[in-house]
Structure formats: structure tokens, C-alpha cells
Structure 1
């Protein structure tokens, strides 16, 4: 019995119907990769996990509602319809909604390394080396078969055909490719030791691709090799929207490989126009100078020097004689003035001779010393008289003088002066001091 054969379209349509009826709309988690944004606004990407992947389509209307732009490496949850793209026979998800679910593992590694190297200062502008304005030799570290190297060679050849270009072939994708680029940088920094021309600038780059495709340019070993390079390094990786660790650590980041070639190669045609303009200005300037010199020579030819040289020579001799006479007169007047000033200074010096001034100072000093000694003696005598008077007054007013006039002073047993008999009691011992000596007594009665 022969079964009827299905066409490919019939089979695919049945599979699509089965998938749509079995799954319908679903939520799926995974990591975005191979993101492509079309000019129409539609977006295509692959949603993957550790062991599988599925194609996804996000049409423009749904993409406009996203809260953030999608990018490779992003972990997301997508909601959509499972279906089959019949022309290719691939099953896919028509995405209606996307929710972020954190960074993918590669993106997380990228951000962590970027932060680490930034904190170490590898991105600081103070370490950036200047790119030669007119390089003689440029080294391209890239894939020898990619479109990027062809574009760069075409631009360099068109703009600067005299420029020496050295292509150092390496892999720019896949495991271990970063080590090949590191080795290329090491060799090019010591190019003469390997019999190679020493490059003025090194371009490290490749064309565009997914985050996975460009990952070798995000490896730490390559970043440190670029930083350690003594030759300036230009990073030209991917498209303008692609950023890698190499871009941040390089001395210059070019948005694309083609842009790197245009930045490095001066435009030969433009330089030729510039030099031609300089030549024209120089030629015009030279012609102007020559014309002026010719006019001056012509005027000199028609002047008196050519027609009457003897008369001019006589006039010159006469002018020299006049100048000589004027100089002699000026010197005589100057000498006379100098002599008069010298006489004035001598007279002033006679009036103020040092010996005479010194003798006058000595006489004045002796007079002042005599006056000072006389004033001091007078002051001492006055002070002595005052001292004697005060001593006499003090003696006349002192207690000894009072006692000499018949008065006495009585003190109690503690030596305190007794001024009130009420302060004493019967039987107290008192001492009475007279002008000559003292005596003790006992209180028997208070009056």
C-alpha cells in the first residue's frame, strides 16, 4: 500500500499548526545573543541557555513598547507565540513582551573586568600615548581574510599610497584568539629583533559580530598587553555601537576598522592641494620681493650716486669734518663741566674735613660728660639730704621717741598691746615697756 506523500509546505504547515495549538503563547527565559536591528525597526535575536537556543522575532510595534533597548548578553523573560517560519522551516517565537532578568554571564564578566581595570587606572587619559599624525609604518593586527582588513588596506592605499603597511595575521574569534593578539603586540613592540619594520602605530581590530564573537577583545590578558605596549595602539573592533575592554584601554578608539584607517592615513590628495597652495603663496611672495628689489635697483641707477659720485664723496667728507668738530666741541664742554664739578666737590670736602669734625665732636662729648657728672653729683646730694630729713622725722614720730617722753606700752601674755582694761582679768600677767627697759606685773584690780 502506497501512502500519499506530503509536500514540504504541507509538512511545515502541519508542524506549525501543531506547535501553535500545543504551546500557544508562552513565557521563556534565556540570554539574548546575535541581536540584529533592521532599518524597518524589527529586531531579530537568539534566546539561549546552556544547552539550547531558539530564534525570536520582535516586530517594530512591540519593540517600541520596550522599557529599555535590548543588547547581547542580556538575561530576559520573553512572552510570545511559538510558531514556524515556513520559508526556512525553523521554529521561532513571535515576541510580544520582554522583561529584563539581569545581565548575562558574559555581560557580567565584561562589567566586572571593566570596573576592575578602571579602578587600577588603565583607562586614565594620562597613560594615553599620542598617535603619530604622519606615520611611516602602520601594523594591522587582524584576520587576513576578513572584510575589515580589505577595507583598511583599500583606504590606506587610496589616501596614503606611500605608507608602509604591515599585516600581522591572527585569529580574532574563538578560544585562544586573544593570546595570538597578545603575541602579535609583543612581536611588533620588538619588530627590529624579528627583522620586521618598526611600526609607528598598531591597529587591533575586526569587523562586527555578537558579544560572543567579540569576546577575545574583552579578555584581561589582552587589555594588559595593550596597556603595556610602547607603540601606540588603536582599537577598531566591530561597529560604532560595539564597545570592548580593548576600546577603553587603547590609546585611541576608532568606531570601525575603516574609520581607524581614515584616522591614521593623511589624505594624499588633500596634502598635495595643501602643498600646491603653499607653493603658490611662496611663488607670489617671491615675485613681490623681486619686483621691489628691481625697483630699488632702478631708482639707485637713476640717482645721484651713479651720476655725480665725486660730488657725493666730497659732501660725505665735509660731513665727516663737521661731525669731528662737533665731537671736539662737545668733549671740551663736557671736560669743562667735569672740572667745575670737581672743584665744587673739593671745596665742600675742605669745609667738612674729617679731622675738624672729629675734634668738634670730642669737645662736645667732653662738655656733655662734664654736665652729666655735675648733674649726677647734685642729684646724689639732694637724695642724701632727703634721706636724712626723712630719717629724722621717722625717728621723732617712732615709738622710741614716744616712750622717751614718759609714755609706756603694755602687752598681755600673748604679746598683744592692751588698749582696754576690760580685755584683762584678775591674775593676768602683763608686761610694761618703758623708754629704758620693761617690767612685769599681775592684774589685781581694774579701774
Structure 2
């Protein structure tokens, strides 16, 4: 009885045949591009056709981003890939990984082979790319001294960043002898030692015109450079191996001149801003220092010997004033006391009773005052003192009465 296969079995069988075919798993196919579509996720779908047939093709995003050339409908191209079956639809198609325009197919193959070799060695590793100096003073330029590129770079930098000094290292930029002259120019800039970065520049051209920049020895020389390299070769859509090994790839030489230097007007604006900020900071610092000086001056004035002396003088004046006031008060009191004593002495003075009519009787012999009749003898010689004079006399008879006075 004949064996019956289901669709999946047959599809898998055909897939196995195609995958094991030495030609179909590594094939180059040429034809005209038609039905070109780019999906939202980055995959590219198109067909290749000739006068009799067509084949569907797919270029996945991971491969599409590595292409140096992407076709459009009507382009004649050579496509590399593997023919396999797309099982859900049961159709065979070309799973592409490289696309070249017809006429450049052989060079593109050589380019891709060398690219793959150098990439595996790590020459294109993004992690090894060095940052460029932000404000270079000396810039080495490797290019033809007679081309428009050298003139354009000078013109742009003269306008954009006149502080930079250009060091021209002349070289051929086309032909078989070009790689050797470029390597020699690179070595000359290293010996000079002033360049902070090097620009390798050339105008646009065909793949053949730019082929010298895919030279393996030149690429390795750029990789070994101690100075950062900027590649500015061709137009924006032109790529060479020098672009991949350089620390920076500029789409054109003119763009390189703008990318490697700041605009002096931006620097002037930044300097002005820094000056303003410095001025404001200085004013704030001066104000702070003035406040500190005033504080220290006040503290010094407070602790100054002159201030202590002045305060002492004030306190001394205050003490002297208080002492003078106390002395004046005490002197006044003393004067009043003396006046009182003077009055008392005046009242107690013997003359005071005499002025009121009394007299003093003195024993002329003993010169004693006689205070009572009992002190008199009979007869008694006396000396009598009056307020306005004195007299001598004799008292007789003497009469002594109890509790009374005799004269």
C-alpha cells in the first residue's frame, strides 16, 4: 500500500534537502528588485526577478543594519544568502545577509570578507573607541593638499574655531599608492607629536575611487594610532573600513570640521556666563568677608585695652563723683555739727552768764572760782569778774544760809 505524507512532513523533507545542498545554503543570486517593503520591526522583504522567474527574499533587521547599500525597486543587485523553506506558507525564499549593486559585487565581497576578518579580531569594537579632546589646539589633517577638502576644512575652522592650528600631512587619497602615503603621513604626525587628534579626509567618489581606504595595512595602522582618529571619507552614504576602525566617523569632511571643534561663539557665551557667575560669587564672598570683618572689628573693639581704659575712666569718674558727693554731704554734716557745737560752746562759755548779769568770784590767793558761801572765810578778799571788767573787794560778814545764795 502506498505511503501517504501529510503537508508538514513533505515541507520538512524539502527543508532538509535545501539545507543540505552545498550551493543553496551559500549562494549569490542576481536580479532586479521588486516589491520592496520595510516592516515596522525593521525587517526588509522584497523579490528578485529576471525575464522568466522571481524569488522571494527576506533581510532580517540584524543584517539590514550592517548593510552599506539598501536597494529600491528596479535596482539590479547581487544578493547573498541561503535558500530555505518558509514552513507556514510552504514556499521557498532567499534568507539574505548581503546586498550589493551589480557592478560592485566582487569588491563588495572582498570588502565583506576583510570586514568580517577584522571585526573578529576586535578592530571595530566600540569599547576601544577613544573620546576626542573637547577643545583641541593642534589638529592633524591627512588629505590631498590640492583638493577642495583641505580648503573646506580650513574655511570652516577659521570661522568656527580659529584657536586651532592645523597640521597638514599631505597624502594621496586615491589609487594603489595611496595607502602607503597615508600611513607615512600618519607616522609623520606621530613623530611631530603636537596633534591631539587626526582627521583622515577625502571627498566622495565611487567604490573604486574610495577603495584605498579599505586597505588592510592602512586599517591596522589607524587601529595602532596613539592619537584619536576621525574618518571623514566620501559622502554620508559612503562607508569604508577606515570608518569602522576610526574613533569617530563623520559623514563628510565639512561635517568633521564641525564635529571635532566647538563653536567659538558658544565658548564666548560660556566664558561670559562663567564671568558673570564668578563676579556674583566674588560679590557674595566680599560681602561675607565684610560681614566677618565687621564682626571681628566689633569683637576687637569690645576687647580693646582702649575700651577697657575708657570704661575704667568712666567708672573712675563715677566713683570720684560719688565720693565728692559723699564728702560734700559729710562736710555739710560736719559744718552743721560744728555750728551746733559752736552754739553749745557759746552757751557754755563763762562770759555768756556774765553778759546776762552774773559775775564770777575768784579767791585771789588760790585763783580758784568760789562757787558757794561755804568756801568763804570771814573776812574774805575776793576778785570779782564782770562781763565788762573786774574789781577787787572784801566780803564781810559772811552769812551761810541753808539752800540759799549770799552775795
Give the TM-score taking structure 1 as reference length: 0.46
Greater Rg by CA: 2
